[in-house]
Every structure is written in C-alpha cells, then in structure tokens.
C-alpha cells in the first residue's frame, strides 16, 4: 500500500488520540482545582486541529476520495458528505478557537455554551473519522492502483503550500507528540 495511504491512517489514529486528550483537558478545565496549564494545552490542541488537518490532511484526503469517484462503486453520496464535513470541521474548529481564546483573555463565556460546543465538536470529529475509517479508507485500499497513487503524489507536489511544507508539518507532528505524551496530559486524573 502507498505511503500516502499509511500517513492518512496514522493521522486518524493521532487525531483520535488527540480528541481523547482534548476531552480529558475539558474535564480538567471544569474542575475548581486544576493545573494552570490546562487552558494552554487546550489552545495547543486547537492549534493542531486548526492547522494540520486543514492545511495538510484534509486536502490530501480530498484528492484521494475524489479519485474514488472514478471507480466502479456507488460512493458519491458518502464522498460528497465527507468533503462537506471537512469544511464544517474547519468552521467548528474556528468557533472552538474563538470560544477558548475568549476564555484565555478573561472574557465572559457561559460555561454551558463553552462545554456544550466542545462536546458537539468532539462528536462531529469522531463521527467524521468513523465514516472515513469504516467506509472510505477500506475502499481506497481496495480500488486505488499504483498509477492512482502516482497521480495523487504529483497533484500533491503541485499543491504544496508555501505556508505548509514539510518543515511546518514536522512542527505540528512535534506538537501532537507533546500533547499526547502519556506523562503530560493523559496521566491527569479523570473527573468523576
């Protein structure tokens, strides 16, 4: 299987892990006694969700999933839905950033609005990943040929952003590793 495919699969595992960390951080934020770094870690997680998927992961998926449309399978509805969800997730991430940066700047944000929006965001992300993992990625593995992957690679080379190149990608991979390092965030006790 192609390296791009494996990178997408790894990205999904990392995003699922980061969603778990984000959820844990939200529980920590809701406590009276919490680590002062909790909000900073939430903002770091949102930075990752704001940049990495939108600048690298989703554009690659868009090319890969659109390639499925030329195959002898009836998958257009699912592909169209997933492509629209990429835009919805980007908008939801911007809303999350707005809310949490308001909190960081001591603006008044209703607790239920903040936590309700965060729960909806996590659910949107998880349902989206589930759809891709259970429906689209298996079809990609089954139907895309070496020639398809070569063409996708050429398209990616043409689309590589001046702002999001391999160096920036490595920065976000390091941020992910820092956030999901077991001794930092995941080891925090869960709220009851």
Q: Which DSSP letter does residue 30 get?
A: T
- Taking CA atoms, 146 is separated from 1, 32, 120, in Å, by 8, 55, 38
What pLDDT was estimated at residue 61? 94
Across 24-28, 104-108, 114-118, 188-192, least confident range = 188-192
pLDDT bin (cut points 50, 70, 90) of residue 190 is very low
From 29-33, 103-107, 119-123, the region with the lowest mean pLDDT: 29-33
- Predicted confidence at residue 140, as pLDDT, reads 96
What does the pLDDT average to over 83-108?
Answer: 93
- pLDDT tens-digit map of 27-74: 988 887 777 788 999 999 999 998 888 888 998 999 999 999 999 999
User: Following CA atoms 91, 165, 181, 45 in sequence, which dihedral angle do they give, to the nearest 10 degrees?
Assistant: -20
Q: Is 93 left (phi over 0), alpha (psi -120 to 50) or beta?
A: alpha
Q: pLDDT of 140-183, one tens digit each?
A: 999 999 999 999 988 887 766 554 566 667 787 888 888 888 54
Q: In the prediction, which pLDDT does 175 show?
A: 81
| 10 token code pair | 């790894």
Top CATH class of 3-184 equals mainly alpha
Interacting residues of 59 by C-beta distance below 8 A, sequence separation 6+: 159
Where are the domains positioned within the chain? 3-184
Cα 45 from Cα 25, distance rounded (Å) = 10
Q: What is the pLDDT of residue 129?
A: 97
Q: What is the pLDDT of residue 1?
A: 66
All residues at 6 or more sequence positions from 73 whose CB lies less than 8 Å from its CB, including other chains:
139, 143
């Amino acid at each position: 299987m192609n390296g791009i495919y494996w990178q997408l699969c790894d990205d999904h595992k990392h995003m699922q892990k980061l969603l778990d960390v984000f959820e844990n951080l939200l529980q920590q934020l809701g406590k009276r006694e919490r680590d002062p770094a909790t909000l900073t870690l939430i903002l770091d997680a949102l930075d990752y969700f704001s940049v990495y998927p939108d600048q690298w992961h989703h554009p690659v998926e868009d090319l890969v999933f659109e390639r499925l449309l030329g195959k002898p399978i009836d998958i257009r509805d699912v592909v169209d839905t997933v492509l629209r969800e990429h835009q919805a997730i980007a908008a939801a991430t911007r809303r999350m950033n707005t809310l949490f940066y308001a909190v960081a700047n001591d603006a008044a944000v209703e607790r239920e609005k903040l936590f309700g929006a965060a729960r909806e965001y996590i659910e949107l992300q998880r349902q989206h990943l589930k759809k891709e993992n259970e429906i689209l990625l298996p079809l990609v593995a089954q139907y895309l040929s070496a020639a398809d992957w070569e063409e996708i690679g050429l398209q990616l080379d043409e689309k590589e952003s001046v702002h999001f190149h391999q160096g920036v990608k490595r920065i976000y991979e390091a941020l992910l590793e820092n956030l999901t390092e077991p001794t930092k965030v995941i080891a925090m006790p869960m709220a009851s």
